[in-house]
Amino acid sequence: MGNLRTGHLVEGAIWLSLCLFLYAYSFEFDKNIEIYKFGATAWPRSIILLIAIAALGQLFQHWKYGDIGSSNAMQAANVDDAEEAAHEAHHESLGWYLSTFALLVIPFAYMRVPDWIAAWLGAGGSTLHILRVVCAVILVGLFLTQVKRNMMGAMLTLPLFFAALLEDMGFYSLAPIFIVGVMFLFGETRPKPMLAIMALIYGLLMALFVKILFVGLPVGNIRPFYDFGSWVVTVLQ
């Protein structure tokens, strides 16, 4: 096994399992697009492939060099006691990996659990939308309770959770929350700078995609998110 430790194998298995799941899920929206010959899954699958290659590359590095290859980078961060903080946070323990895995399950739970409950109840339409909103609120609550305990896991989960909610809640409603969430996870906690930066980035995204490129971003399927997204598009166009 070379210089591989259990932690290296668990981490690699989590990333590769995630890639396999995402690749299998991509068949659900594998459709032809008139203006793009490679279809709807080309870019998502390209990103999945890059993640898998990065995971395998990291496993190879650990197999050949162990933790020595990353020690120089850790020494550079040692001025701020980052290495000691990582050890104190048990980032190399099995419990931390299990916690990270549990966080990563949250987005996929949202994509499946409401449909399972709706099928069990024989419900659809507005009832399914209510189930999705209730499920989203519960899962967001679970996510928030784990943020301070596992910041790294939250960083990995947030983009996936954003993508999972995108179809139902819409880009226009979720983007401000996502931007603020990213800033918080990277250590920014001052309300005024966070709001100012969020407004600037959100405004630039709206100007680029809606006013300049005329790209149809998801408006959402559930009210009031759909109404808000439609209103933003109407105002900007």
Q: Which residue stretches of the chain are H helix? A: 6-26, 42-65, 68-77, 82-88, 94-121, 126-147, 151-169, 171-185, 191-206, 225-236
Between 80 and 22, the higher pLDDT residue:
22
Find the mean pLDDT for residues 56-67. 76
At residue 18, the pLDDT reads 81
At residue 85, the pLDDT reads 47
Q: To the nearest whole number, what is the mean pLDDT of the chain?
A: 77
Binning pLDDT at 50, 70 and 90, where does residue 74 land? Answer: very low
Backbone angles phi, psi at 36, to 5 degrees: -145, 105
Find the mean pLDDT for residues 43-53. 77
**How far is the CA of 55 from the CAs of 13, 19, 58, 62, in angstroms?**
9, 10, 5, 11
At 173-193, the pLDDT tens digits run 888 888 888 888 888 788 888
Binning pLDDT at 50, 70 and 90, where does residue 77 land? Answer: very low
At residue 138, the pLDDT reads 92
Q: Is the predicted pLDDT of residue 228 greater than 80, yes or no?
A: yes
End-to-end CA distance of the chain: 59
pTM of this prediction exceeds 0.85 = no
Write down the domain spans for the chain.
Answer: 1-88
Cβ(170)–Cβ(220) under 8 Å? yes
Find the mean pLDDT for residues 39-59. 77
At residue 83, the pLDDT reads 46
Q: Whole-angstrom Cα distance, residue 162 to residue 217? A: 14
At residue 92, the pLDDT reads 56
Q: Is the predicted pLDDT of residue 89 greater than 60, yes or no?
A: no
Binning pLDDT at 50, 70 and 90, where does residue 113 land? Answer: confident
